Amino acid sequence: MTETIQLARQLIQIESVTPDDNGCQHVIADYLRPLGFQIEPMPFGDVSNLWARRGETGPFIVFAGHTDVVPTGPADQWQYPPFSAHIDDKGQLYGRGSADMKSSIACFMVATKRFVAKHPDPKGSIGFLITSDEEGPAVDGTVKVVEALEARGEKYDYCLVGEPSSSQQLGDSIKNGRRGSLSGRLTVKGIQGHIAYPELAENPIHTLAPALKTLTETVWDTGNEYFPPTSFQVSNIHAGTGATNVIPGDCVVDFNFRFSTEQTPNSLKQAVHAILDGCEFHYDLQWNLSGLPFITPAEGKLIQAVSKAIKQKTGLQTQLSTGGGTSDGRFIAQTGAQVIELGPLNATIHKIDEHVSVDDLNQLTDIYEQTLINLLVD
């Protein structure tokens, strides 16, 4: 069993359901300290964050990830206990966080150890930014660390996030950007009344329907070379008292935009309000922006270094992608750093029986090490 697999199993066996790190970052810090890293815990609220740095010069590459995991779901439905880190006879490592993304952190650690042993005085610096608040609200994690580093003028050039980016084969895809996420909660006001006397009431579901049709049929943009078109999706609709003979007094709709760099939060808000203001009903609309879109250009040094490393270690020509949900890369990209995501297969993330290939993790360690060489040595 390689050092990568030993470390991955050690981290997976720690029950660190968001936002509880439960000691994972102590393991990471104890591993990095002998390699010459300066360790700085950066807790905010109930969230554990770790900042570690080796070196004082540029270029500066940061490995970013999270130790928190989503709940396991029904443990009795797993083939093996969800925190057992069991390896089956097919070489699959099972456990919550195996793919998303404790194994990537283990790969970061071993790749860095190997690199430092071979190149003790590289032409740059290496950092680790680890949080326990990625799977939760994400308000006291990476975003707060980034703000604190910015406030004291500590800058980095590149950031490699270990989110599971691969689709069918390790390294076949890397994320060089993500769409923004803007959510809204729309409350349409009506007048509650008896369903047999509609003339004495005002049904907010009925008055909302034409506007909702317009919102779902609107073409917000056509995307661009990096992003698909902006999408509008309704996630929840709630109205009524539960009784079948009562016209509801209001209707609440939760919706979300996943938007490209063709849009801004303000442009989307203005467009939605223009549609709603043209309707004859009273409404209240609360907005929540959870992330701005970002893109790292294909010609950037980080993408070139990572793509080259994948080719060197797997023979694959990786593809760039901006699909999927949000990640903490959205906070880091706002600093101006080049950001990409590269990790194991994403087929089982957040599922029962989450697992990842042992061979893939060993190969991913090689890719991370080669990326350091490509950026800090060659």
List residues forming the annotated binding site: 66, 100, 135, 163, 350
- Residue 163 amino acid letter: E
Cα distance between residue 128 and residue 28, in whole Å = 9
Does 68 qualify as catalytic in the annotation? yes
The full DSSP string for 242-268 is: S-TTEE-SEEEEEEEEEE-TT--HHHH
Contact at 8 Å (CB) between 61 and 125?
Answer: yes
Q: Which residues of 150-180 are buried (b: 16+ CB within 10 A; e: fewer)?
A: eeeeeebbbbbbbbbbbeeebbbbbbbbbbb
Contact at 8 Å (CB) between 16 and 101?
Answer: no
How many CB atoms lie under 10 A from the CB of residue 272? 23
Contact at 8 Å (CB) between 123 and 289?
Answer: no
Contact at 8 Å (CB) between 191 and 202?
Answer: yes
| From 133, 134, 328, 341, the catalytic residue | 134
Would you call the peptide bond into 71 cis, given omega within 30 degrees of 0 as the criterion? no
| From 21, 68, 250, 360, the catalytic residue | 68
Binding-site sequence positions for Zn(2+): 66, 100, 135, 163, 350
Does 134 qualify as catalytic in the annotation? yes
Catalytic center residues: 68, 134
